[in-house]
């Protein structure tokens, strides 16, 4: 049978020009076409269906429509796990009831996840929703001492699956996790903060295929372990050059194929003079970061360019005298700065002036208040 591995839809993600709903709808249409064309029988979504744990009404409606189309109209089995962006409880609401319709949702972590059997039992799909170490120690308090990291937890859970799994089946695991040395994109916000919870690919030994979610760049970790990546270009930088799509798997041969899917809107960083940029008719439908080399990036220029390029998200102008060329920062630089440094750089970049001493004091007061609230 054929199945599709997808992940990180991030329904409800906001963007300066609104949200990505029309792009996500376009992706779903491509997905449905592929399912019909290839006679796909199951769709596996490895987490982050939603962008937020408190998803908005539009995002819920979109997910509702997608799930209904997949299970009812196209008749596929839809298996999904919660990612770190999803609310495990909300996502898995009515999950027992939904199983009758061919939808299998795994929200919070289970001691012994039961597989979803497909193709008359020839294929078993084990759902391993996103978790951190604490979730595993809560399930196995007697082994708390041995479970020191997220990786220890993942290994324990996979060991338990391995004990009962039938090697005659094609055993597939769905996991929302950060594998050591996976390559990140700028839209991997949460993953960047989660270096500590990275796990080794070796915990998945013995599975025939590991369908990963969490990291937005499609990539092969080992021949049978891969990230399909998110279906839309959610950030600038390296993600601009990535191909987006899904992975098609034939469980008879275990052959995998990355199927690139066309995007409604591409995402581009374009540098040029004002005259060069305004003549670019080809950029009207894309998400843009424009770098104008011969003008300052003021509100007026921004408004003018936005009229021409409705999906303009970022604008950079030439830097003012005395400032170093190019005011953007690398990630390492950001990590070496404290909050006040970052705020000063932000002000300099957006408004072309450094904050006054009074503004800095005000900022520190506000920051202290937030920290106070956080610790309460």
* Residue whose CB is less far from Mn ion, 161 or 174: 174
CB of 233 vs Mn ion, minimal distance in Å: 13
Cβ nearer to Mn ion, comparing 85 with 169: 85
Residues 212 and 221: beta-carbon distance below 8 Å: yes
Q: Name the minimum Å distance from CB 62 to Mn ion.
A: 16
Scanning 14-22, 43-51, 159-167, 307-315 for contacts with Mn ion by CB under 5 A, the matching segment is 43-51
Helix axes 339-351, 357-375, angle to 10 degrees: 130
Nearer to Mn ion, 169 or 217 (CB): 217
What's the min distance (Å) between Cβ of 10 and Mn ion? 6
The alpha carbon of residue 45 and the mean position of all alpha carbons in its chain are separated, in whole angstroms, by 12
Alpha-carbon span 59 to 52, nearest angstrom: 10
- Nearest distance from C-beta of residue 214 to Mn ion, angstroms: 6
With beta carbons less than 8 A apart as the criterion, state whether 285 and 311 touch.
yes
45-64 residues near Mn ion, rule: CB under 5 A: 48
Q: Which residue is nearest to Mn ion (CB)?
A: 48
CA quadruple 308, 238, 347, 17: dihedral positive or negative?
positive
CB of 187 to Mn ion, least distance (A): 8
CB of 259 to Mn ion, least distance (A): 20
**At its nearest, how many Å lie between Mn ion and the CB of residue 109?**
18
Residue with structure tokens 């209904």? 68
| Residue nearer to Mn ion on the CB measure, 102 or 107 | 107
Answer for the pair 208, 224: CB distance below 8 angstroms, yes or no: yes
Q: Which is nearer to Mn ion, 48 or 286 (CB)?
A: 48
Separation CA 316–CA 329 (nearest Å): 13
Alpha-carbon distance of 370 to 366, in angstroms, equals: 6
Q: Considering the rule CB under 5 A, would residue 41 count as an interface residue with Mn ion?
A: no
C-beta closer to Mn ion: residue 48 or 239: 48
Q: Please answer whether residues 34 and 276 qualify as being in contact, where contact means their C-beta atoms are separated by less than 8 angstroms.
A: no
**Smallest Cα–Cα separation from 339: which of 358, 355, 363?**
363
Nearer to Mn ion, 47 or 317 (CB): 47
Contact code string over 6-35 relative to Mn ion, x by CB under 5 A: --x---------------------------
Least Å distance between CB 122 and Mn ion?
31
Give me Rg for the CA atoms of the chain. Answer: 23
The answer to whether 6 and 246 are in contact (CB under 8 A) is yes
Size, binding site for Mn ion by CB under 5 A: 2
The CA-based angle 299-339-179, given to 5 degrees, is 100
Per-residue contact string for residues 103-142; x = within reach of Mn ion by CB under 5 A: ----------------------------------------
Residues interacting with Mn ion, by CB under 5 A? 8, 48
């Amino acid at each position: 049978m054929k199945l599709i591995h997808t992940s990180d839809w991030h329904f409800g993600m906001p963007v300066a020009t609104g949200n990505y709903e029309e792009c996500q709808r376009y992706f779903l249409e491509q997905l449905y076409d592929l399912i019909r064309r290839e006679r796909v029988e199951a769709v596996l979504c490895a987490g982050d269906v939603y962008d937020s744990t408190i998803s908005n009404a539009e995002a819920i409606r979109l997910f509702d429509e997608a799930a209904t189309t997949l299970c009812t109209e196209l008749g596929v089995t839809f298996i999904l796990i919660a990612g770190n962006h999803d609310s495990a409880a909300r996502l898995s609401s009515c999950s027992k009831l939904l199983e009758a319709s061919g939808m299998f949702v795994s929200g919070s972590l289970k001691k012994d996840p039961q597989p979803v059997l497909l193709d008359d039992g020839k294929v078993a799909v084990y759902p391993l929703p996103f978790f951190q170490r604490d979730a595993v120690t809560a399930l196995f308090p007697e082994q708390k001492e041995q479970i020191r990291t997220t990786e220890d937890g993942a290994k324990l859970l996979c060991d338990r699956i391995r004990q009962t799994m039938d090697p005659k089946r094609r055993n597939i695991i769905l996991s929302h996790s950060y594998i050591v040395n996976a390559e990140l994109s700028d839209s991997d916000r949460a993953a960047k903060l989660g270096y500590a919870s990275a796990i080794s690919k070796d915990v998945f030994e013995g599975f025939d295929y590991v369908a990963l979610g969490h990291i937005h760049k499609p990539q092969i970790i080992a021949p049978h372990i891969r990230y399909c990546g998110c279906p839309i270009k959610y950030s600038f930088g390296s993600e601009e050059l990535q191909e987006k799509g899904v992975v098609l798997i034939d469980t008879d041969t275990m052959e995998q194929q990355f199927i690139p899917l066309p995007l409604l809107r591409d995402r581009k960083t374009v540098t040029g003079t004002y005259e060069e940029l305004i003549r670019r008719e080809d950029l009207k439908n894309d998400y843009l970061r424009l770098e104008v080399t011969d003008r300052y990036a003021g509100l007026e220029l921004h408004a003018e360019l936005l009229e021409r390029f409705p999906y303009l998200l970022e604008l950079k102008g030439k830097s003012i005298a005395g400032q170093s060329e190019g005011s953007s920062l690398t990630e390492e630089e950001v990590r070496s700065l404290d909050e006040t440094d970052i705020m000063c750089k932000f002000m300099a970049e957006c408004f072309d002036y450094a904050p006054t001493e009074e503004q800095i004091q005000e900022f520190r007061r506000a920051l202290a208040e937030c920290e106070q609230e956080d610790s309460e």
